[in-house]
Amino acid sequence: MSAVRLKPLFHYCNREEKPRSLHRRSTNLSFSSSSSSYANNNYDKWPKLFSNFCKFKHHPRLCSIRASAAAETALVDTDASSGRLLFSETFQVKRVQKVEGKTSVRLDKKGDGGNYQLTVGCNLPGKWVLHWGVTYCGDFGREWDQPPPEMRPPGSIAIKDYAIETPLKKSSSVLEGRILYAVQIDINANSSIAAINFVLKEEEMGSWYQHRGRDFRVPLTGQLEEDGNTIRGNKGFSIWPGAFSQISSLLLKSEGSRPTGEKHVGDAKESQLQNKHVEGFYEECSFLKEELVQSFVTVSVTNNLKEDNTFVRFDTDLPGDVVVHWGVCRDGTKTWEIPPAPHPPETKVFRNKALQTLLKSNKDRDGSWGLFALDKQILGLVFVLKLNEYTWINNMGSDFYIPLTGKSSLPNPTSKSEHKQTFGTVTEPQEEQTGSGSTAEESQAVAHVAYTDGIINEIRNLVSDISSERSTKAKFKEAQQKILQEIEKLAAEAYSIFRSSSPTFLDEEPVSEPDEVLKPPVKICSGTGSGYEVLCQGFNWESHKSGRWYSVLNDKATDLSSLGFTVIWLPPPTDSVSPEGYMPRDLYNLNSRYGSLEELKALVNRFHEAGMKVLGDVVLNHRCAQYQNQNGIWNIFGGRLNWDDRAVVADDPHFQGRGNKSSGDNFHAAPNIDHSQDFVRNDLKEWLCWLREEIGYDGWRLDFARGFWGGYVKDYIDATEPYFAVGEYWDSLSYTYGEMDHNQDGHRQRIVDWINATNGTAGAFDVTTKGILHAALERCEYWRLSDQKGKPPGVVGWWPSRAVTFIENHDTGSTQGHWRFPSGKEMQGYAYILTHPGTPAVFYDHIFSHYQHEIKELIALRHRTKVHCRSTVKITKAERDVYAANIDEKVIMKIGPGHFEPPSGPHKWALAVEGRDYKVCLCQL
């Protein structure tokens, strides 16, 4: 049976050896959450169907394993009181228990000077942190700013340049009989602050209390009354109804503000200052907090002296209906089989691969028990426990294995290890291996990682041993793909159920080895490609000036294909206010500064003939209007999609939309489109499908992806089924006093959160990796290229199959030069991204430059060694002046001026590519 090794969530308990006839141990269980259906790898060598899904940010302490089918059975009731005890083992398990608490928000006047004090409190114990910022008068976007220093309570820590975090401290107050943990913020009545924005974070569990990024907001000025979330009324404060984790915002209405219709642009600023009168209030609401509770599972094996069989006894204090999903093995390979009948009464067969038996409830105490009778010829029993439709328990990522001959259930250290899947560390699928255990050294390492800060991501797509079947026929591969696609649908369903906070996941679906590198046989899921793509950005910021860019690229199609590129990203094709195409107007008008509609169709066809896929650059966040409304505001659109101001978000003050509040950050140069409107989404899906059919695009590059929720992206991708899709989610990295922080987990987490919101159907540009490469190469600080867990520090270290790595593009380089890569060190950057996992993207200006030959050699090496987006990385050196890594045990690379030589050993390494301050070696067996 397949097993996914998860990072243990708690330390191993001490094991105590007993006499040979009785082996008793105490072991920790992984408790993991998953979005895919459960199946067995060793049954006819089907792929593993485990996929991990973490609900919490930072500390991935809880997870569960998702199953697609529920089977409830009755248990055999057999007397096994007489016999010899061969084996007994107790496993400690941490389960989740929900506790109801209260949170309070209070605003009080402080003295006679008109100042105020805001108090936010919680009556449940925990490491509570208020993550907060302010909005200043005149800034009505969704951006936060840091409060002035005099407003920050003691112990506050700056988060980038937009927020701070302040711990809640135990206070003398009591709320519903419980001690209150609170933080107090002093507010100066004469300041220009219009609102306080915050979310609550519980660091011990890593839970964030917010709703899809909708921040709690306490407005301090009547000018913010136009906010779509404001609750109107005579009282000074009102709260959105519902559980705390579901509240969109806390909104305070100021006194004496004018009705919306009476406001005038000319006196808006004056109105903000005059209407800044708040009244005291106190509100509280309920919420649910998840806590860890320890339980146990004991398994005992007894040899029946009267009959030729063995009894296996299960005892557990886990609540509710506990189902044992089990099978047996007859040899040392731990391969699952269904035992011959008779089976325990009412046992159900799961897909002809395993049995599912319901344990009996204890009458005198909590928990349940069960007793199985097995033939003595059976050597072992393998199982996992199912608590409900979405929660499974395994043994630290592996299947439980119980020997029926009195030997230890610990994995055989001489057997090959199952591939591992851990939170915070991703080990990609290797060739198929047997056994389900880990060595003591591996266990110690995994246990250590469990206590470091966890990694946040959403639904982990599939982990499988499909790569072990590289020599199988295409028919079998197609069957595998159908299974994977079915699992992905189940994963999406599970994700929608569990998304009550910002989930995090870090694992990958497997890559099917292509017969030809440039022509992958079968895509795994919509928007993710085959895993072997190398992307070319086919333009720069000046490309529109020729007026015939499509013709220029047409002549270069063969050259780009021969360089090893498999996908090309073309510029925005639509009619646009700006010549570069990023201010679209009439979406169906594809006569742009780059060329005509007919030239574009011919270009796409030319690249297809050259064996390359083509991505269209689509701008979905905003659109330029063609007409003014009665107030002179440009928010009426023309062309085939003749929308009115209902298509514009309501919280963009520049364009006075009548839609809903934006689900992302506003782009203030053009009206931001409200994707929550059904007619908008339907029109955009129809347009994207038209581009796919009429032009022949194979996928999308999504501009300004932070402007709208990733769930809408999933809707568009599901409708258009692209081969590959990548979003531009770009925000600032973390700096302290102008110095880039070593830990950029917050930055890459935001990118991963957006990918999570798309349910993994799209990737994102790995801005984190680019920024860290900047600092490492420019300042000769190559130690930055390893995170606290010894993994690549960008998105590629957490979710490589969705990370599109790059060092330059039309915005950062070219003639714009907003964030230019360190000059003269570009090839070190390409040596990094073209040898590492992720999908590398190469900028047009670098392709047609003196770097072309070196880039071609690195791309050829990547194809030759079959490095792909989920390849494994072992960082062997990350010091001041040198970085070195081993990729898939096939490639060793180093960048930096420092010295590094491949290690001596059974592998022989030969220099393959080298240049200024970089070398790449290949394994010579």
Identify the CA nearest to 619 among candidates 693, 716, 546, 526.
Answer: 716
Residue 735 burial (CB count, 10 A):
14
Token output for 429: 């699928």
Strand partners, 636: 627
For 562, residues 6+ apart whose C-beta sits below 8 A from its C-beta are: none
Rounded Cα–Cα distance for residues 692 and 722 (Å):
8
Can you tell me the distance from the alpha carbon of 274 to that of 262, in angstroms, rounded to the nearest whole number?
15
Distance CA 805, CA 167 (A): 36
Give the active site residue among 225, 465, 580, 728: 728
Burial (CB count <10 Å: 0-12, 13-18, 19+), residue 348: middle
How crowded is residue 26: how many other Cβ atoms within 10 Å of its Cβ?
A: 15
CA atoms within 13 A on the CB side of 114: 8
Contact 227, 207 (CB under 8 A): no
Question: Cα(185)–Cα(117) distance, rounded to whole angstroms?
Answer: 6
Asked if 547 and 555 touch (Cβ cutoff 8 Å), the reply is no
Strands 26-28 and 400-403 come out as unpaired
Upstream peptide bond of 259 is cis (omega within 30 degrees of 0): no
How many angstroms separate the Cα of 921 from the Cα of each of 338, 555, 900, 902? 48, 34, 11, 8
The residue written with tokens 């290890």 in the block is 417
Angle ∠(729,735,741) on CA atoms, nearest 5:
95
Q: What is the DSSP string of 151-209?
A: GSPTT-EEETTTEEEEE-EEEEEEETTEEEEEEEEEE-TTS-EEEEEEEEEETTTTEEE
CA 535-798-4 angle, to 5 degrees, is 115
DSSP string, 491-524: HHHHHHHH-SS--B-------PPPSBTTB-S--S
How far is the C-alpha of 711 from the C-alpha of 663, rounded, in Å? 10
Calpha distance 133→845 (Å, rounded): 40
CA-nearest of 507, 531, 459 to 753 is 459
CA dihedral (918, 922, 923, 925) positive or negative: negative
Amino acid, single-letter form, for residue 507: D
Catalytic status, residue 703: yes
**Amino acid letter, residue 703:** D
Q: Which residues of 673-705 are buried (b: 16+ CB within 10 A; e: fewer)?
A: bbbbbeebbebbbebbeebbeebbbbbbbbbbb
Catalytic pick among 703, 753, 808, 845: 703
Tell me which residues are annotated as active site.
703, 728
